[in-house]
């Protein structure tokens, strides 16, 4: 395959796709990623997973602070890209860039479009209790995740899996589907199908004010909330003025007052049924199994979690 490819991505989700392009010996002429971020205390500079991958594999990359100016446009034009692959880059691509590449800008999106357009498709699918999830390969246009779809792949959504686990699985599926799609594009066998825009739903960014666990929901909803936000940002409760993140849980048929601890194994009452906490994390600590956690911190039966 002789296409000149520009790749744009930032988080860990993007890495399998770039890796697949390199392993298939495709012509990646440049990689774009977001600039390094400072840690919360500002003492450490953290390059993106894509930047780390590029450095390790001696791949040329740019990480401009701004991608929407004339100087960057001229740099981009000189790359003469046939196609641009975008996987969670983290910036809106300006319109005046979109017509530069012969085959346009192609995006890997972690949903079955037009469902769950937007920033948090996997989290929203899990929190919504969806039975299916998937990957879509689409052409980027001016509106958010609304371009025509070239290919998609659907999988069952395991209700016991966390966002982190589903994201990792979909990143590999997306990488493989992209390689197939690129072959079809170059061979002239690609067919982009317009989305049914009236069926679109939106996966808005997860806000801090929606991460606290609401025990007044039924157990399935509480588990979807926990798993959808695990490992980050994490669903949490408070007990004795300390915040605890719950990272994994099972449904239990035990019944009790919402938020009340029903036994010595951290089974918590919900509006209907209950959940048993399996993995938990104290503030500033590493995650623990509930068994490990209870060796050091007792939350007794009858306690109320808020």
- Write down the CATH superfamily of domain 4-199: Formyl transferase, N-terminal domain (3.40.50.170)
> Mean per-residue pLDDT for 82-107?
94
* Confidence at residue 55, expressed as pLDDT on a 0 to 100 scale: 97
CA 6 vs. chain centroid, Å, equals 22
* Confidence at residue 1, expressed as pLDDT on a 0 to 100 scale: 55
> Mean per-residue pLDDT for 259-267?
97
Q: Tally Cβ neighbours within 10 Å of residue 263.
A: 15
Contacts of 205 (CB under 8 A, 6+ apart): 118, 119, 120
pLDDT band at 41 (very low <50, low <70, confident <90, very high): low
> Mean per-residue pLDDT for 169-176?
98
Cα angle 176, 181, 187; round to 5: 135
Instruction: Tell which CATH architecture fits domain 208-296.
Output: Roll (3.10)
Whole-number mean pLDDT of the chain?
A: 95
pTM score, two decimals?
0.94
Q: Is the pLDDT of residue 42 over 80?
A: no
End-to-end CA distance of the chain: 57
Q: Which structure tokens are listed for 176?
A: 């493989």
- Which range, of 60-64, 65-69, 152-156, 260-264, averages the lowest pLDDT? 65-69
What does residue 284 show for φ and ψ, rounded to 5 degrees? 75, 5
Spell out the domain ranges in the chain. Answer: 4-199, 208-296
Which residues is 149 bridged to in the sheet?
A: 138, 193
Separation of alpha carbons 51 and 16, rounded Å: 13
Q: In whole angstroms, how far apart are CA 204 and each of 93, 134, 168, 170, 215? A: 18, 18, 20, 19, 23
Q: Tally Cβ neighbours within 10 Å of residue 197.
A: 10
Interaxial angle between packed helices 49-56 and 15-23, expressed in degrees from 0 to 180 and rounded to the nearest 10:
30
Q: In whole angstroms, how far apart are CA 148 and each of 88, 137, 190? A: 18, 9, 12
């Amino acid at each position: 395959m002789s296409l000149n490819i520009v790749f744009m991505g930032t988080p860990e989700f993007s890495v399998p796709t770039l890796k697949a392009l390199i392993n298939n010996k495709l012509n990646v002429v440049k990689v774009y990623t977001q600039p390094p971020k400072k840690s919360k205390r500002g003492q450490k500079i953290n390059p993106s997973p894509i930047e780390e991958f590029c450095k390790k594999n001696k791949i040329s990359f740019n990480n401009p602070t701004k991608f929407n100016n004339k100087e960057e446009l001229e740099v981009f034009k000189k790359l003469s890209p046939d196609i641009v692959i975008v996987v969670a880059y983290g910036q809106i691509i300006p319109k005046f860039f979109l017509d530069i590449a012969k085959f346009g800008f192609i995006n890997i999106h972690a949903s079955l479009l037009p469902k769950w357009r937007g920033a948090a498709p996997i989290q929203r699918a899990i929190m919504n209790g969806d039975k299916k999830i998937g990957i879509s390969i689409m052409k980027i246009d001016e509106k958010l995740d609304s371009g025509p779809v070239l290919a998609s792949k659907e999988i069952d959504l395991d209700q016991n899996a966390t966002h982190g686990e589903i994201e990792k699985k979909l990143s590999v599926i997306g990488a493989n589907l992209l390689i197939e799609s690129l072959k079809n594009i170059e061979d002239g066998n690609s067919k982009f199908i317009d989305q049914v825009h009236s069926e679109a739903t939106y996966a808005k960014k997860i806000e801090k004010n929606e991460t606290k666990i609401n025990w007044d929901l039924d157990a399935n909803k509480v588990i979807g909330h926990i798993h959808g936000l695990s490992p980050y940002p994490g669903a949490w409760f408070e007990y004795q003025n300390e915040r605890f993140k719950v990272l994994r849980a099972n449904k239990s048929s035990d019944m009790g007052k919402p938020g009340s601890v029903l036994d010595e194994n951290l089974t918590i009452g919900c509006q209907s049924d209950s959940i048993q906490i399996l993995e938990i994390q104290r503030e500033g600590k590493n995650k623990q199994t509930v068994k490990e956690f209870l060796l050091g911190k007792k939350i007794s039966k009858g306690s109320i979690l808020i």
